[in-house]
Chain A
């Protein structure tokens, strides 16, 4: 099973700042990595797939990069609605699909 480790666990920033979240895989997943935003009481939302492709309707301030084992999600200028928990997820050639443990993005 491929383990995804996200860092930091918690990130405290102010609106307007730049956020960089990291996800490291225990073995290469190529570019088969996605990012999700999750707010309490709501369904998670797909932000990025294939490491760098923005999902439908996702603002351009969200960008993803990386390949192999090291990936990052960048939010260029934080909006108030961006404070949430972010998960990375991989699905390479075989089950299972796995998620990282999450990064909580808090308002400073």
Chain B
């Protein structure tokens, strides 16, 4: 079974960049789609973006100008970078493997496996 683990700093200063890495075990990253999701304290889930192992990406339009997701197939990892952070970016950040299911000519993407989450606090 695929397992994911987030790693990175738990505290980031305002205006700086947030960087997290997700290490995938139990399966190759060179298939499927991989994604980042976050949950601010007391709020719901927000999709950040996803990446295919080839490097093609899609991002939430609300974050697109500040976010970048990359993949390192040699390390079986993918990474998130969010620039110019503010306190509103304080959240638990999850990485996840997507399940793409297609039927009847349309496809849906679902978060099949998740990491345990990494709390990132933006504060001076």
Q: Decide: A31 and B103 in contact? CB cutoff 8 A.
A: yes
A-B contact number at CB 8 A:
80
Contacts of B115 in A (CB 8 A): 43
Q: Decide: B44 and A91 in contact? CB cutoff 8 A.
A: no
Interface size on B, residues (CB 8 A): 27
How far, in whole Å, are A100 and B45 apart by their CA atoms in the complex?
8
How far, in whole Å, are A30 and B60 apart by their CA atoms in the complex?
21
Stretch at the interface among B23-31, B70-78, B79-87, B105-113: B105-113
- Main secondary structure on chain A at its contact with chain B? loop
Interface size on A, residues (CB 8 A): 32
State how many angstroms separate the Cβ of B33 from the closest Cβ of chain A.
10
Q: Decide: A95 and B58 in contact? CB cutoff 8 A.
A: yes
Q: Decide: B45 and A44 in contact? CB cutoff 8 A.
A: yes
Contacts of A87 in B (CB 8 A): 44-45
Q: Decide: B44 and A97 in contact? CB cutoff 8 A.
A: no
Chain A residues with CB under 8 Å of chain B are: 1, 29-34, 36, 38, 42-46, 49-50, 53, 55, 87, 89-93, 95-102
